[in-house]
Amino acid sequence: MAQWNRVVILAGLLAASQAMGQEVLRESVGTRAIELGQMELKPFDTKAWSTLEDWTNGSALDSSATDGKVVLIATLASWNPASTRVISSLQSLKTKYGDQGLIVVGVHHAQGWDAAPEMMSKRKADFLLAHDTNGKFREAIKADQDPDFYLIDRAGQLRFADIRTESVEEAVKQLVAEDATAAGGVAARIASEAQQREAEASRPRTIQDKIDMRSLPEVPFLAPPPEIYQIAAWPERKKDDSGNNQDQGPLTRPVPGAGWIGGDAPKTTGRAVVYYAWRLDDTRSSDVVRDMDQLQRRLGRDVVVVGVLIGVRGDDNGRSNEGVDPAELIRRAERMRRTLGLEQAMLLDIGGQFFNSNSNNGSNEGYPAVVVSSDNTERWAGVVTDNGMRAALDRVTNVDPGIRARRAAEEAYLRAQGG
């Protein structure tokens, strides 16, 4: 009987994993998630298009131009690396779904517009681009960063507000598959499904609105068995380009027991961990550290970000750690954390126990990074600036059995407390 129950549990979690693969994931949490949720399934105010200027690659949009179309809105900024990295993906969506009624429009930040044509030309992109000169459009859709993604369906409703990069194509596929009549009746058609979904999705939103989930005590939960992890739909692992190494399976990445800067090891139980390398005295590292701290703030409920300090920027190759005083590095790193108000954890690794400090020097290939699931298994490896890292992290947080088990325990705890 016990073995049978185990099989049933495994099958149930596998089915849930497959179902969640079709879910359109929102980026926002807390109060902002509630505000954006209230905007969804409401008619998009087409007057907002008139706040945009300098339309390129086509005429300005209005209600007649978008009637019966699916519109993908992406906020962009030419000076923002995260924005420029998604342009090729947006162009691919236009090419793939344009003849099915998709309009892709980039809404450029008020600043940096002069560099916008080069940004598009360099990536051979020809989707619509407009200048949000006064920031009025962003204000209307409550965008808070670049890029943010929104979708309007064929009935003119703002269907999806501020969704994750990983979910953009899934959302597009869902909306281009509908006709205008189906889109217009979606609220009634999915009433029972929405009621169930909102009961599940609004619980964490309501809870998060009342309490910072990161301030919760560590709630005990039953860790899923290894078999559950084996059937999860993890990101596809990168192949060795050299072809010399055989795939030995995913690496084990246990949390280091020592070397933590400013305190003990962070709490990683039931959470994914992102480790990335950086160096002091390297301007590229400084930008990455700030970007990764924003990631920690956005995903702090499910993800622990760890900046692995591998030394200082020395010669042109960044290889010189000779004569470096570890105590001085720790003092400088702690001062940086205080000055910038960083929330991420930091780990000192000048000996290269975690990242090879000689081969991973922050050259043109960038500093290394890995995404580790809650069972301390590496699920993705690359460089920190690779836009595939965020997609892999989204997938890991979506399917990780430990994250799901921890979330369920936290929500049960809060309900028991009257949350």
Percent of the chain with pLDDT over 90: 45
pLDDT digits (tens, 9 = 90+) for 162-195: 998 888 999 999 999 998 888 887 766 655 554 5
127: exposed, middle or buried (C-beta count within 10 Å: 0-12, 13-18, 19+)? buried
Q: Which two tokens stand for residue 176?
A: 């281009």
Helices (H) and strands (E) in the chain, counts: 15, 12
CA distances 203 to 128, 241, 356, 407, Å, are 38, 44, 43, 11
Question: Which pLDDT score, from 0 to 100, does residue 246 have?
Answer: 47
The answer, yes or no, to whether residue 98 has pLDDT greater than 60, is yes
pLDDT digits (tens, 9 = 90+) for 121-165: 999 999 999 999 999 999 999 998 899 999 999 999 999 999 988
Query: Considering only CA atoms, which of 204, 175, 211 is closest in space to residue 33?
Result: 204
pLDDT confidence band for 17 (50 / 70 / 90) = very low
On the 0-12 / 13-18 / 19+ scale of CB atoms within 10 A, 51 is middle
Q: What pLDDT band is residue 308 in, cutting at 50, 70 and 90?
A: very high
Q: What pTM was computed for the model?
A: 0.52
Closest by Cα among 250, 210, 175, 179 to 418: 210
**pLDDT tens digits for range 82-94:** 889 999 999 999 9
Residues 148, 27 contacting (CB under 8 angstroms)? yes
What pLDDT shows up at residue 49?
97
Q: Of 325, 343, 193, 190, whose CA–CA distance to 266 is shortest? A: 343
330-349 residue pLDDT tens: 999 999 888 888 999 999 99
Tokens read off for 204 = 């964490």
Which single residue is written with the structure tokens 């889109």? 183
Count Cα neighbours of 305 within 13 Å in the Cβ-side half-sphere.
25
Residue 239 in this model has a pLDDT that exceeds 70: no
**310 phi, psi to nearest 5 deg:** -105, 10
Where in the sequence of the chain do the CATH 3.40.30.10 domains occur?
Answer: 24-204, 226-416
Distance CA 266, CA 239 (A): 31
The CATH architecture annotation of domain 24-204 reads 3-Layer(aba) Sandwich (3.40)
| Mean pLDDT (the chain, rounded) | 82
Q: What is the CA radius of gyration of the chain?
A: 23
Per CATH, the homologous superfamily of domain 226-416 is: Glutaredoxin (3.40.30.10)
* pLDDT (0 to 100) of residue 168: 93
> Does the pLDDT of residue 365 top 50, yes or no?
yes
- pLDDT score at 25: 79
pLDDT > 80? residue 248: no
